Amino acid sequence: MKKFVLLLVCYLTVVFGNNSFSQDYYWSSDRKISIVKDTSILLIKFKEDHDFKSTWDLFKDNKTTHKNILMEEKKIAIINITDYDPSKLEEILNNSSSIEYYTPIFKSNNTPLYPTDKIILKPKSDRDFSEINRKFSNYFSSFYKNRYGVYIITLNNYSNLIPVSNEIYESNLTEYCHPNFIVELQHDNDPLYPEQYYLNNTGQFGGTVGIDINVLGAWNSIGTFSGECNINVAILDDGVENHEDFDGRVLLGHTIGNPTGFGAPGAGSAHGQACAGIVSATHNNELGIKGVAPYTNIIPVRILGVAADLIDIADAVDWAWDEGLADILSNSWGLGPGNCTLTGVDFNNIIDAYDRARDQGRGGLGSIVVFSSGNHGSCISFPRNINGVITVGAINNNGQIWNYSNTGPEMDLVAPSGDTDLNGNVRTTDRMGNNGYENGNYTNRFGGTSAAAPQVAGVAALMLSVNPNLTEEQVRTILQQTATDMGPIGFDNTFGFGRVNAHAAVQAALPTISGPDYLCSTTTFTLQNAPVGSTVSWTVSPNHLFSGSTSGNGTNASLSPASWGTSGQATLTFSIEGDCGTVESSTEFWVGRAISYIEGPYDMAVNTVENYFATGNPYMGITDYQWSVFPSGYHWIGNQGTNGITLSFSATGLYSLELDVVNPCCARGSEIGIYVYNPWEHFTLYPNPTSDILHISLDLEARGRGGDQDFEVSLYDGQGRELIPAKQAHQEASLDLSRIPKGFYYVHIHYRDALLRRQIRVER
């Protein structure tokens, strides 16, 4: 039986691997999304006008192990071929008149993607769908456009789904274009996660939306976490044991005074267990909570609840970073209040131990040391005030500092937490059964700065998961510089540098890309400090801006502009695959000379002033704007050298306004024509002289029917007194002068930006 199944899998691999389905990516959000084919699972599409129930019953009758899926409204079935006798399955697939087609499915980071025969695309704003249809219509069976300008394409061959969608996107005609996959929507399956306001504050418990550590963005930027990620977080506390939400990631640790204690908690101890859950609880396992950094390993170092002297404490610290290989040391403990003044306790051996951790841990890169600030509502005491450790205070879910949270110049960061003494509202892990705070596996009552520090330790673990090459100082500095400022602007003794911001910290931790901001000729971009042992690939888009390769492997990407006339903004993305999963680091740059167009009127009245502007964006790197007019000698330009000028002409005629913009790749020109006219040429006043009605008309033939046809007219005497107030007119107007004494008067016409003044005579 196994041999037959293997042969069938091989057959499907060959059949579907040799056609266009073999492409291993699709485009979304301007980047390639990797996919893999799973030939052990088949999608079966039944014909729309056939009764498929009898065929479906055949699959049900032959199923042995896995659960089949029937999407009845879509007439689609999903089966696992390992459940079936190969000959029986082949007979059903090839002989059933109700089957339209069958195909393997795809997966991306273990997420099933069920292919269809449809593509979704949106043309670029300056492109018409007819261009796409003209170029790719031989692949289309039908299409329609929805109310939002999105086109749904049905293909005439489902096996073209991936290559055609990729080819359309890479033609640079669309904003996006990707396959229409069927996906499985799932409920969030960490049941207590909705109550973890410190991770995602949606207003739980009367809190303020957004007062959290912004970890969702960090998780999304990392993508799927890998179980091979070996980031070790030591919890120096009263012990940690394995738990259903740790998935076996509690390693053998260290217990002061007990060589075989291995960091396990004693009777009634649960504080370290709660801290560990905040750091490392597993995601999406239908249990409990979400940790800030899932799949990190926990190293329990029990220093509380045992008889310990200073040597024991220092030894425990040294064991954590040296023998325990801890990348991060999370400390929610101290030596009590009042030890923060010049006369407070201070122990060099403990300072030395933590300094060694920071200097020598992680093979010389330095282990990161995180401390809670303490819950005494006073100054920050030893050892929380050791120079170089990251000291974390607590705010409530509305962003206010807790009255118990110690503060002072040693503060670095704050994180959301609840009240102390098990009166809090932080959801986290408890010891299993009735050994901890509750008669269950989780507690809802944790809080204090003890719950704040593990959040920062978890964020540091996320940073190391995307870039294990970071030094201790770099991690500490990034955490400080990316924090969300609170209280007075800048650092203060209450909030330190602000609320820890996981997403910003992870983004700043990614390996950087060196290369120019402007690509003028063939140049190499380099991913700096790629993690040792990682696999690096790169891709650049949009493809039409480049000649040569637009993707490759390794930390160097050699890029060349497609031609001298090529210009546009591009994005280079390096994908870094390591033990912790795959992360991406991107940089944007401008290819070629700047593109700028002139905005302003195409006609203007002589001896008036108009404004003209150069379009462009900061990515182009424009350093100079040079404006000129041809023929010259009859114009005046104000603000030369800037992106906005004022322009005036002293003579009528047709002129060319020209603009040269300069960026590091040289200059590029553009121009527009400007017609300068005398407004009086377009107005007729009659009869003049007059004794009754004066008519004013705009000559449409001379002015052009597409021009402005509105004006304003009024009458003044020789002393400048207004006799007939201004009134609006369209194309023509009349002034009743029957009550005006004989003499000379002045008609004022406001047309566009010009004031026209003409003398008339009234006779009696």
What 8-state DSSP symbol labels residue 733? Answer: E
In DSSP terms, 758 is beta-bridged to 747
Cβ-contact 496, 252 below 8 angstroms: no
Q: Output DSSP code: residue 641.
A: B
CA dist 200 and 341 (Å) reads: 37
Type of residue found at 450: S
Residue 352 and residue 465: Cα distance in Å, rounded? 27
Q: Could you check whether the bond before residue 631 is cis, i.e. omega within 30 degrees of 0?
A: yes
Task: Scan for tokens 């593109």, then name that residue.
Answer: 595
Is-contact 699 683, C-beta < 8 A? yes
Contacts of 288 (CB under 8 A, 6+ apart): 190, 191, 192, 244, 245, 277, 281, 429, 441, 442
Structure tokens at 4: 């037959």
Distance CA 96, CA 351 (A): 76
The phi and psi torsions of 310 (rounded to 5 degrees) equal -65, -35
Give me 228's structure tokens: 């091979």
**Which of 334, 374, 372 shows the shortest CA–CA distance to 350?**
334
Sole residue written with tokens 């009590």: 336
Rounded to whole angstroms, how far apart are CA atoms 42 and 46?
A: 13
Angle between helices 215-222 and 449-466 (to 10 degrees): 20
Cβ atoms of 213 and 501 closer than 8 Å: yes
Q: Report the alpha-carbon distance of residue 572 to residue 591 in Å, rounded.
A: 12
8 A C-beta contact, residue 302 and residue 210: no
Rounded to the nearest angstrom, the gap between the alpha carbon of residue 373 and the centroid of all alpha carbons in its chain is 32
> From CA 669, how far away is CA 763, in angstroms rounded?
58
Q: Give the pair of three-digit tokens for residue 524.
A: 């190499």
What strand order describes the sheet that includes 140-145? 140-145, 151-155, 118-123, 174-179
- Distance from CA of residue 602 to its chain's centroid? 41
The distance of Cα 78 from the centroid of its chain, to the nearest Å, equals 33
Q: Is the preceding omega at residue 300 within 30 degrees of 0, hence cis?
A: no
Q: Which are the catalytic amino acids? A: 237, 271, 450
Helices marked H in 67-155 — which ranges? Answer: 86-95, 129-136
Place of tokens 């310990």: 308
